[in-house]
Chain A
C-alpha cells in the first residue's frame, strides 16, 4: 500500500499537477497542429526535462502522450486535417458530422470517448504492469533476447505501407546502436576515429532529428499552405441518446485499443483504425458509416486513447516500447538513469502509481480543456508555418545542444533529420528506426550473455518454453501481413 500512497502523492503534488497540465496543454496544441505530433513534442521536450525530478519528467511526457492523441481529433473533425496519425480514422465520420453543422457534438463525442477509453486502459495498466513485471523478473537473457526479437518482428505489422521497409528501418536502428565501444572487449566499432562516437550515438539528438528536422524539411515544401479558418463552435457533451448509441462502441474499442497498445510496437494509429473497423462491423447501420454518425467517432477515439495506457504496460514492465511514442518515453527513462523493465517496478514501485495518477489527471484535464478550449486550440492551425517550423528548428538545436553542451550532438541531430527525410521519401518510417535504436543495445547484450551462458550452443535456447513462445509469436507477426494481404485479396476476388 505504501508505494501506492507514495506514487499517488507524487502524482498529485502541486508541482507535478502543474507539469502534467503543461504536458496536456503542449499535447493538445501539438496534436492539433498538422505535422507536429506527440513523438516530436516528446523528443523536443526530453532534453529540457533533464533538470526535473525523473518522476515528474516522465509524468509530464505521459500526459503529453495522452493529450496529443486527443488533440489530433480537433482539427480532424473541424477541418478534415488530422493533426496526428491516430486521428485519421476520426475524420471519417467527424468531419461529415461537422459539415452538417454539428461540430460541437462531434467534438464532445470525441472528448468523452477518448477519456473513457483512456481511463479504462489505465485500469488495465495499473493491474497488468506489476503482474507482467513479476513474471518478467524470472526471465533469463535468452528469454529477453527472444522477447526483443518478438518486439522487433512486430514492426512488420505496424502502420506503414511496407512491412519489409519497417523491418529494414528497425534493423538500421539496431545497427546504429552498435556504433561505439563494444562493451565486453572495449574495441571501437564504426567510430571513424571520432572521439565523440566512442561512447555511441546519443538517443536524443537522433530522435529530435528524425521527428522534428525531417518533418521541417517535409513541411518546407508546403510552407504556403493555409489551413481553413475555424468557425465558432461550442462543444457539447454527448446527449443521453448519443450515449446509448456510443457506449457499447466505446467499451469494445477501449478493449481493442488497450490490447493493441500492450502489443510491442503497435500504437494508437493501428488501434484507431481497428476501433473504427470494429465499430462498423458490429453496427446495425453499417451503411451510415462515413456520413457522420456518433459510433464512427467514438470507435477510433476510444481505441486510440486506450492504446496509450496499454502501451505503457510493456514499456514499464519489460522495457519494451508499446508504441513509437512510448519508445521516446523509454529513451527518457534511460536518459534519466533508469533501467526500464521488471527491476524498475521492483525497486521503485511508486513510479508506476505516479504515472498512473498523472495519466488519470491528464485524461480528465483534456476533457475539460477539450470542452472549454477546442475553439481556441483549433485556431492554433492559423499560426503561419513560416514561423512555426523555424521555431521547431530553434528548439531542436537548443535541445540537441543542451543535453551535453556539445555541438557534435547538433550535427548528429541534423544528419539524422536529413537521413530521416530521405528515408521517409522512400517509405522507411522514423518510428521503426527509433524502436530499433532503443532496443539495439538490449538485443546485443542479451544475445551475447545467452551465448556465453549456453556455451555458444544457441539451439539450447529452445529448451525454454518462453523462448519458444516468443519466437513463435515473432514468426506469426512476420507472416501475418502476408497472410492478411492474401485473405483480403481472396475476399476481393470472391
Chain B
C-alpha cells in the first residue's frame, strides 16, 4: 500500500498534455488504473489469509507461509552485498577482471576451500567465457583500468 501511495503520487507529477494530443487517454490513466487494481488485490490479502486459516480445519496453518518458514540465512544477504559490490566495480575493473573477482570471491564466500581448484576455476572460466563472447559473438567488453581486453 505504501508503494501504491508513492507511485500514485508520482503519477500526479507527470507533465500535462493538451487534450488535442492525448486522444482522451492521458499518460497517467493506465498506471493509475493498474495501481487501483493492485491496491484492491493487496487489500484482499489479509482476507485470503483468514479464509485459508478458517479452512485449515483447526490447524491454524494458512499454507501461505511455507516460503517464509525459517529465517533468511545471513549468507544470502552477504551474497547480495558482494554481488552489488562486484557489479559496482565492473565499470572500473572491466568485464574480464570483474568475472575473475566474482569467480574467486563467490566460491570462497560459500565455503569452498579447495584452493587449487578455485584458482583454476577463477582464471579458466572467465577466460573461456571472454574468448567465446569476444571471438565468436563479437561482443565488445569494457577493458577497464588495466586495459585487459580480448579484442
Contacts and interface: CB of A to CB of B under 8 A. Distances in A.
Given A187-B17, A189-B14, A168 B126 contact: no
Given A51-B137, A184-B23, A402-B137, A397 B102 contact: yes
B111 interface: yes
Interface in B32-87: 34-35, 37-38, 41-42, 44-45, 48, 55, 57, 63-64, 66-68, 72-73, 75-76, 79-80, 83-84, 86-87
A247 interface: no
Specify the main secondary structure of chain B where it touches its partner: helix
Q: Give the most central of B15, B55, B107: most A CB within 10 Å.
A: B107
B7 to A, nearest CB: 7
Nearest to A482: B51
Interface in A178-227: 178, 182, 184-185, 187-190, 213, 216-218, 220-221, 223-224
A487 to B, nearest CB: 12
B76 A220 contact: yes
B68 to A, nearest CB: 6
Interface residues of B, number: 66
Nearest to B98: A397
Interface string A434-459: 00000000001001100110001000
A356 interface: no
Contacts of B95: 397-398, 401
A78 interface: no
A456 B72 CA distance: 49
Interface string A406-420: 010011001001100
A410 B90 contact: yes
A430 to B, nearest CB: 12
B147 interface: no
A425 B67 contact: yes
Contact of B25 (A172, A410, A452): A452
A405 B76 contact: no
A407 B15 CA distance: 29
B121 interface: yes
Given A223-B75, A223-B110, A178 B31 contact: yes
A424 B133 CA distance: 32
Contacts of B116: none
Instruction: Please report whether the interface of chain A is mostly helix, strand, loop or mixed according to DSSP.
Output: helix
B64 A427 contact: yes
Given A187-B15, A394-B126, A386 B110 contact: yes
Nearest to A49: B137
A390 interface: yes
A51 B138 contact: yes
Interface in B85-99: 86-87, 90-91, 95, 98-99
Contact of B76 (A184, A221, A398, A407): A221
Interface string B120-133: 01000110010001
B49 to A, nearest CB: 9
Interface in A87-140: none
A164 B15 contact: no
B106 interface: yes
Contact of B27 (A187, A217, A221): A187
B141 interface: yes
B45 A185 contact: no
A405 B133 CA distance: 12
Given A390-B102, A425-B67, A190 B126 contact: no
B145 interface: no
Contact of A175 (B31, B64, B102, B133): B31
A15 interface: no
Interface string A150-177: 0000000000011111011001101100
Name the residue in A187, A220, A456, A485 with the highest tally of chain B Cβ atoms < 10 Å from its Cβ.
A220
A426 to B, nearest CB: 7
B79 A220 contact: yes
Interface in B10-35: 10-11, 14-15, 17, 21-28, 30-31, 34-35
A485 B55 contact: yes
B107 A402 contact: no
Contacts of A397: 86-87, 90, 95, 98-99, 102
Nearest to B113: A386
Contacts of A421: 76, 80
B79 A216 contact: yes
Interface of A: 48, 51, 161-165, 167-168, 171-172, 174-175, 178, 182, 184-185, 187-190, 213, 216-218, 220-221, 223-224, 384-387, 389-391, 393-395, 397-398, 401-402, 405, 407, 410-411, 414, 417-418, 421, 424-427, 444, 447-448, 451-452, 456, 485, 489, 492
Given A223-B111, A384-B112, 20 more contacts: A51-B137, A161-B66, A162-B64, A164-B45, A178-B31, A184-B25, A185-B21, A187-B17, A190-B10, A220-B75, A224-B110, A224-B111, A386-B110, A393-B83, A393-B106, A414-B87, A421-B76, A427-B68, A447-B30, A451-B24
28 contacts: A164-B48, A165-B45, A168-B42, A171-B38, A178-B31, A185-B21, A187-B14, A188-B14, A189-B31, A217-B80, A220-B75, A221-B72, A223-B75, A386-B106, A386-B112, A387-B112, A389-B110, A390-B110, A395-B129, A397-B90, A397-B102, A402-B139, A426-B67, A426-B68, A427-B67, A452-B25, A485-B55, A489-B55
Interface of B: 7, 10-11, 14-15, 17, 21-28, 30-31, 34-35, 37-38, 41-42, 44-45, 48, 55, 57, 63-64, 66-68, 72-73, 75-76, 79-80, 83-84, 86-87, 90-91, 95, 98-99, 102-103, 106-107, 110-112, 117, 121, 125-126, 129, 133, 137-142
9 interchain residue pairs of minimum CB distance:
A386-B112, A223-B110, A390-B106, A182-B27, A171-B38, A187-B27, A220-B79, A221-B73, A448-B25
